[in-house]
Copies of this chain bind each other. A is one copy, B any other.
Amino acid sequence: MATLSDIGVSALINILGAFAFLLAFAFLRIQPINDRVYFPKWYINGERASPRRSTNFVGKFVNLNFKTYLTFLNWMPQAMRMSESEIINHAGLDSAVFLRIYILGLKIFVPMAVLALLILIPVNVSSGTLFFLRKELVVSDIDKLSISNVRPESIRFFFHIGLEYLFTFWTCYMLYMEYDYIASMRLRYLASQRRRAEQFTVVVTNVPHVSGHSISESVDHFFQTNHPDRYLCHQAVYNANKYAKLVRKRDRLQNWLDYNQLKFERHPDKKPTSKTGFLGLWGEKIDSIEYYKQQIKDLDKRMILERQKILKDPKSILPVAFVSFNSRWGAAVCAQTQQSKNPTLWLTKWAPEPRDVYWRNLAIPFVSLTIRRLIISVSVFALVFFYMIPIAFVQSLANLEGLERVAPFLRPVIELKFIKSFLQGFLPGLALKIFLYILPTVLMIMSKIEGHIALSTLERRTAAKYYFFMLVNVFLGSIVTGTAFEQLDAFLHQSPTQIPRTIGVSIPMKATFFITYIMVDGWAGIAGEILRLKPLVIFHLKNMFLVKTERDKEKAMDPGSVDFPETLPSLQLYFLLGLVYAVVTPILLPFILVFFAFAYLVYRHQIINVYNQRYESAAAFWPHVHSRIIASLLISQLLLLGLLSTKKAANSTPLLVILPVLTLAFHKYCKSRFEPAFRKYPLEEAMAKDILERSTEPDLNLKAYLADAYLHPIFQTFEVEESEMVQVRVDKHQTHVASPVAREHGSSSPANYVHHPASPPEYVYQTASPPRYVYNPSSPPHYGYNSFNPPHYFYHNEEP
């Protein structure tokens, strides 16, 4: 058990470590060679060009302007400078609300820490004795500051109970204010948004097959009947898996072509050649440029055929459709109502925004969904409680003897002493480490199997599973020793009143462990986050070995989104720790405060400079954050109840019983008061926007605007460079609409449709130059959408 000074030393080491990380970051970020790693968001916005173009050779890689080294910490004020509404414009509402969670943590825990330290520490310390505790518990200095130091049956427990009440009310009050603010923020955001396809569109799943009619005809007929005057058009969803494979292949070929052309441009004397055999190692020598051009031409023909086949064959149309209405009101009505007598048919819900759609899950039938969810629930339960079993099995195999048996030729190497000791220390933990590393991916795959149709939902579901895992295996697992499976077994054989006691009584003893955890996982983790060591290394490795073209470089620097499925659950774990220890061992609170403040700064910087959100869900994750903080509150109350009941504080403990009931009631109230704002779209709001739009843009051609918004992205991944290519699509039920002339990211405008009212049937590529598809690899699933809608939202604060 650590003494106070041990904790101090540990804190100092961690602070120094974090400081070293920050210094490294400050140094690395101003090197031009790393510019794309630390400021990718600005490249994507198109507001920053490579600083390497302008300087000399050395200056391309190393920052020679020594003045900038003196101001190496200025990223902090820079990060704070942006206002909240600017952040919303810059990075979206999701990111802005994500930052607010840290602020909420500070708001909740700063007054708590002050009060707890001022009141409880004197109460605990002066209370004076740990004599009554059982002998086998080793007593540390930290324990003297904690509730353990209070004598059983002491009247001083009223302080703890009173503060628990106060903290609960304070937390609930802050949660209420925050939920209220974020709900109105969301509504304001949705109201201030420009016209967007998803405002008019509803996704309809489980469209029934009617013999003699195509899916499209059924959809048209159904909605023309049941939503007359409001139904506008629909977009069928094609089963395009085979076509997607061709697109990927073409993309690869195109990349090789670009590479060879670039090579040829640089060295016009040497025609690039390659071999046709395996991996280009042997076979006939050919002209690379000609070869790839020919390959692409062949592939294009196949793709056109495949496209036509998909669009013509009724079987390739899935029983799903994106149905658009001529007003937001009509879409809001359709999304919130039941359409058919059979509630498993014609299921409607809001369409996710096009780049948020997870296309593969669209066509899962209703019964299959039920079964999938059942299986995944059981699997998650098994994963959380029994994951140690297969790992222990693998560990028993992956020892030195096993290795020698499998690969006897390695024996001489293994038997070397230092290698042997390294392997012995390394191998047993390897399986567990690999498991923990791939866990988020596994959980994401599970969520995908569950059949959610939006990426945002997938990430939220993954976060929920991950939180469950952390709660059981990190929080409970650290408090009650033994694997989760052993705990489960023990809990099943204990009485329900005994469980909070068992856990409660060990809580004060684990305070030092969690303080260390906060420093190592929290502080160091955040410092590592800003350093971005992994992306930095990967970026340079890729640049060195893999990058062939400019497009590859863009792909290599793709920063991705904030990793919600991992970040949110860890964040919520800190809320849990803070709430549980606020009354028990208040000395833990300052460590959490440092974490929240530091993480807020870092993520603010990252969101401004690095991350590029794949989708915008308008803070749809907030209800989950809220309810998990409520769950933490409940856990803290139950554990305190258990702890106090072991302290024989019989006269004071019953006072706590009412607290969980009140907390649950508060949660229920919040749920009905605010959650609809995150799940439904009020008609009042929809109507107001419709009226406004009708008065400002009376002659809007909405049908043209919506026509291709929900076309599968692989049909939209065509970009025009220099030449003008117009793709005309003919659909029986739609006016002839040309696909947009897409431009570079960010600079496209949403209304650049070319209208061809009389074009020949079938697909015709009207190209001035030979058709040249350029597939943009930097963001395959959503690029096509970006070319329709600007990636940044215009957030107009209604209040001046």
Contacts and interface: CB of A to CB of B under 8 A. Distances in A.
B370 A682 contact: no
Interface stretch (A265-273, A274-282, A493-501, A565-573): A493-501
A668 B370 CA distance: 8
A684 B339 contact: yes
Interface string A342-374: 011010000000000000000000110011001
A692 interface: no
Given A497-B492, A669-B367, A338 B336 contact: yes
A494 to B, nearest CB: 5
B665 A370 contact: yes
Contacts of A128: none
Interface string A173-213: 00000000000100100000000000000000000000000
A685 interface: yes
A378 interface: yes
Given A343-B676, A496-B492, A338 B669 contact: no
A85 B225 CA distance: 31
Nearest to A184: B341
Interface string A490-533: 01111111100000000000000000000000000000000000
A337 B344 contact: no
A337 B495 contact: no
A339 B682 contact: yes
A588 interface: no
A24 interface: no
Interface residues of A, number: 49
Nearest to A668: B370
Nearest to A191: B341
Contacts of A494: 495
A370 B668 CA distance: 8
Contacts of A497: 492-493
A665 B684 CA distance: 38
Interface SS of A by simple majority? helix
Given A337-B332, A338-B681, A665-B370, A672 B343 contact: yes
A683 interface: yes
Nearest to A343: B676
A82 interface: no
A680 interface: yes
A620 to B, nearest CB: 16
Contacts of A336: 336-338
A337 B686 CA distance: 12
A752 interface: no
A496 B366 CA distance: 34
Contacts of A340: 682, 684
A661 interface: yes
Contacts of A665: 370-371, 374
B337 A337 contact: yes
Given A338-B676, A676-B338, A661 B493 contact: no
Contacts of A226: 329, 683-684, 687
Contacts of A329: 226
Interface in A218-244: 222, 225-227
Interface in A699-733: none
8 contacts: A222-B684, A226-B329, A337-B682, A338-B680, A370-B668, A492-B496, A492-B497, A494-B495
